[in-house]
């Protein structure tokens, strides 16, 4: 697995974020330079390529006059040695039908949408200077799931943002229950000196921010377990990462990013190595992780 950075900096000005001040405006790399680096990585044995930027979906807008992530992905997908191409840090408002279609028709591009929404209350979204509304978020999520029913949707949320009252928080709770993200992380708001949010009134106590985080995570735990239960009996391609004991390995499916998402405990009587891809039939679902048995020889 290797990361490839396609741009540096960000043109968004979310009120809680210091990145635009630290790293400046977005500066994209040329498509041909990124593809050349990706080919070198693939020739060196890399099977999973993780595309990163502060705002991946706006890649190329500064040098091409329009976002060119779909075109970049089409070129990367032509590299046969790459088994999985994963996109991280996608702003929901910039996820277009064109992008979704490119992901859908290329088997080596993971149907994995990492789209941090941060909140679902329009009042809080406006205070955060996010360029979307709750209604637009729902429309975008429905568009993705209609096009790719088995897509994985991952998001992150912030609880306790300045001005978040009980009504705002309950709106977020109901949104999480309704949407049922496949993967979700929650962070209590943290003051960052030099940001616009730091100067906002009505900051909340740390205890309240953490309590609200815990409420969301308890809800997501149930959602995650429900989603995992539906995977029992199904077979997934798993990338083996390491052996933890005799005949037992840890791996990931295409639905899971390294370090931040779920793992699969794989039982195999055949010796496996890191980097092997095997088909695994799921037999046990935990709250976040899965367990299963290898079904056949290596897939690649």
| pLDDT at position 300 over 70 | no
Tens digit of pLDDT for each residue in 155-196?
999 999 999 999 999 999 999 999 999 999 999 999 999 999
Number of folded domains in the chain? 2
| DSSP H helix total and E strand total for the chain | 9, 13
Same domain for 195 and 265? no
CA 187 to mean position of chain CA atoms: 15
Same domain for 190 and 115? yes
Domain final residue pick, 188, 205, 229: 229
| pLDDT at position 298 over 60 | no
Domain final residue pick, 229, 248, 282: 229
Distance CA 45, CA 41 (A): 7
Q: What is the CATH number of the domain that holds 248?
A: 2.40.50.140
| pLDDT at position 107 over 90 | yes
Per-residue confidence (pLDDT) for residue 184, from 0 to 100: 97
Distance CA 68, CA 60 (A): 5
| pLDDT at position 299 over 80 | no
Same domain for 158 and 79? yes
**Mean pLDDT in residue range 14-33:** 95
Distance CA 85, CA 51 (A): 7
Same domain for 170 and 258? no
Same domain for 286 and 217? no
Q: Average model confidence (pLDDT) for the chain?
A: 96
Record the tokens describing residue 9, joined without a space. 């900096």
Q: What is the CATH number of the domain that holds 52?
A: 3.80.30.20
**What are the residues facing 86 on neighbouring strands?**
50
Record the tokens describing residue 41, joined without a space. 């990585």
Domain around 239: 235-298
Per-residue confidence (pLDDT) for residue 230, from 0 to 100: 95
Same domain for 76 and 116? yes
Same domain for 85 and 159? yes
Same domain for 261 and 127? no
Calculate the alpha carbon distances from 228 to 169, 210, 284 in Å.
Answer: 27, 26, 9
Tens digit of pLDDT for each residue in 29-86?
999 999 999 999 999 999 999 999 999 999 999 999 999 999 999 999 999 999 999 9
Same domain for 197 and 148? yes
| pLDDT at position 296 over 80 | no
Same domain for 104 and 118? yes
Tens digit of pLDDT for each residue in 117-144?
999 999 999 999 999 999 999 999 999 9
Place of tokens 């406006």: 126
Tens digit of pLDDT for each residue in 244-281?
999 999 999 999 998 888 999 999 988 999 999 999 99
Read off the pLDDT band of 241 (50, 70, 90).
very high
List the beta strands (DSSP E) in 163-289: 183-188, 235-245, 248-253, 264-267, 277-285
Per-residue confidence (pLDDT) for residue 259, from 0 to 100: 86
Spatial CA neighbour of 234 closest among 253, 260, 259: 253
Same domain for 89 and 225? yes
Same domain for 210 and 244? no
Domain final residue pick, 197, 229, 261: 229
Distance CA 87, CA 74 (A): 13
């Amino acid at each position: 697995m290797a990361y490839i950075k396609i741009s540096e900096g960000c043109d968004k000005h979310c009120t809680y974020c210091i990145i635009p001040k630290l790293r400046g405006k977005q500066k994209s790399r040329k498509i041909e330079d990124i593809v050349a680096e990706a080919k070198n990585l693939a020739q060196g044995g890399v099977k999973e390529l993780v595309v990163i930027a502060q705002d991946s979906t706006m890649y190329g807008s500064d040098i091409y006059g329009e976002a060119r992530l779909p075109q970049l992905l089409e070129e990367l997908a032509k590299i046969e040695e790459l088994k999985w191409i994963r996109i991280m840090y996608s702003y929901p408002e910039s996820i277009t039908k064109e992008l979704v279609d490119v992901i859908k028709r290329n088997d080596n591009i993971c149907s994995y949408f990492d789209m941090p929404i941060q909140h679902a209350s329009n009042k809080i979204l406006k205070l955060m200077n996010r360029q979307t509304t709750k209604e637009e978020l729902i429309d975008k999520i429905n568009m993705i799931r209609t096009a790719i029913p088995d897509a994985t949707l991952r998001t992150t949320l912030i609880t306790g943002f300045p001005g978040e009252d009980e009504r705002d928080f309950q709106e977020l709770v109901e949104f999480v229950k309704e949407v049922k993200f496949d993967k979700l992380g929650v962070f209590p708001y943290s003051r960052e000196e030099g940001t616009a949010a730091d100067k906002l009134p009505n900051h909340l106590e740390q205890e309240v921010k953490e309590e609200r985080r815990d409420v969301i995570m308890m809800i997501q735990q149930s959602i995650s377990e429900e989603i995992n239960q539906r995977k029992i009996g199904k077979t997934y391609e798993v990338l083996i990462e390491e052996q933890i004991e005799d005949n037992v390995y840890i791996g990931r499916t295409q639905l899971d990013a390294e370090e931040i998402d779920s793992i699969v405990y794989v039982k195999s009587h055949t010796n496996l190595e890191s980097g092997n891809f095997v088909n695994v039939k799921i037999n046990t679902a935990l709250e976040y992780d899965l367990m299963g048995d290898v079904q056949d020889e290596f897939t690649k």
